[in-house]
Amino acid sequence: TGHVTLDPGFTNTASTTSAITYIDGDAGILRYRGYPIDELAEKASFLEVAYLLIHGELPSQAELDNFTDNVKRHTLLDEKFRAFFSAFPRRAHPMAVLSSAVSALSTFYQDSLDPFDAEQVERSSIRLIAKLPTIAAYAYKTSIGQPLLYPDNSLGYVENFLRMTFGLPTEPYEVDPEIVRILDMLFVLHADHEQNCSTSTVRLVGSSHANLFSSISAGVDALFGPLHGGANQAVLEMLEQIHTNGDDVESFVRRVKNKEPGVKLMGFGHRVYKNYDPRAAVVKKATRKALDLLGKPDPLLDLAMRLEEVALSDDYFVERKLYPNVDFYTGVIYKAMGFPTNAFTVLFALGRLPGWIAQWREMMSDPATKIGRPRQVYVGETERSYVDIKSR
């Protein structure tokens, strides 16, 4: 079988070539299709970035209009989905509902499952981008017992999502356009991050020629974990715990350094960034702005900033090159916007979706693609003879 290299966690093994996202972790650089992340965050809309990631180039106005119209045409869910949402317990975690719903999409749209039919792949991509906000909003509405709102296609992508999440059929929904812009920008920041755990999962599942819905559903599940997308929820829970316990920041950091079981500085550290995560820098600036706009000052923001300051001047974090990552500040914004803590990772998933789709499509159209099948180094028993149960 030849030589096999052991690389737990794939710290040093490239699983693919890719032309989508570039990261230089030492320099703190992130680019989508060559465009720096801070420029895209400032200037581009989420749907524009989705188009860029999937198709490789920024869309012309006509291309963007066409893409947007297409997405709008698919925002509705089959009415049978109502029964689907009501079948989950009230306290269901929205990430579990989301991954189940995405998986269930493949049962409704059997006309777009062929991974090698370009038209079908395009249709399932559009359906996912269009329906994920509806699914996310319905998971939330069901959990609080409020009526589900149909999408309003006169609204933009993010505003429509916010209305379906926070609106009521009895009242007009209004939201500050600057808040819409901030959430749109957060989606842009999350849109792709090359071969992270969930994206690699999407690719691995897709490499068996599973359909796009099934592959993305697996990606949602991978994102759920607290070391990955689930970190945004874990950060807020950590901040709340420090706040309610009245702990001081220094003693919490000391517990982290002592590696007390279960005590980590969530929202810090990254496999690839050994410098400030460029996304975190943008989020940090946006947090203050969002809290001001919403008129919701939050002691958790001051606590987070103090934690960052203490950590970044501490040898433990300096030596290990641990900096705040994208998840460190986002939760404070989501909370101010009114999202419950357990919905934070769903917001990450909405943002990451175009990246998953782009990576899956790049893989499917790459002639070098083979089924993903890691090798192992066997360390178990050598051959031995079966022992009858009476003699064990």
- Decide: 389 and 241 in contact? Cβ < 8 Å: no
**CB of 159 or CB of 327, closer to ligand CMC:** 327
Which residues 6+ apart lie within 8 Å of 157 measured at CB?
A: 45, 46, 47, 68, 71, 133, 184
Q: What secondary structure does DSSP assign to 75-100, as a single string?
A: ----TTHHHHHHTS-TT--HHHHHHH
Shortest spacing between CB 250 and ligand CMC, in angstroms = 15
Cβ 253 to ligand CMC shortest distance, Å: 9
Positions 92 through 111 that interact with ligand CMC (CB under 6 A)? none
Active site residues: 270, 327
Each residue 217-246 as x (binds ligand CMC by CB under 6 A) or -, in order, gives ----------xxx-x---------------
Strands 21-24 and 29-32, by their bridges, are antiparallel
Indicate whether 267 belongs to the interface with ligand CMC (CB under 6 A).
Answer: yes
The stretches of 76-228 forming alpha helices (DSSP H) are 81-86, 94-108, 118-144, 157-166, 177-190, 197-206, 212-224
- The verdict on 265 binding ligand CMC (CB under 6 A) reads yes
Can you tell me which of 31, 55, 181, 271 binds ligand CMC, judged by CB under 6 A? 271
Near ligand CMC by CB under 6 A: residue from 196, 201, 207, 215: 196
Residues from 35 through 94 that contact ligand CMC (CB under 6 A) = none
With binding defined as CB under 6 A, does residue 266 bind ligand CMC?
A: yes
How far is residue 342's CA from residue 92's CA, in Å, rounded to a whole number?
10
* 280 binding ligand CMC? (CB under 6 A): no
Token pair, residue 225, equals 């974990």
Q: Which residue has the tokens 């926070």?
A: 166
Pick one of 41, 137, 155, 326: the residue that binds ligand CMC (CB under 6 A): 326
In angstroms, rounded to a whole number, what is the distance separating the alpha carbons of residues 122 and 143?
A: 32
How many residues make contact with ligand CMC (CB under 6 A)? 20
Interface contacts to ligand CMC, rule CB under 6 A: 9, 196, 227-229, 231, 256, 264-271, 320, 322, 325-327
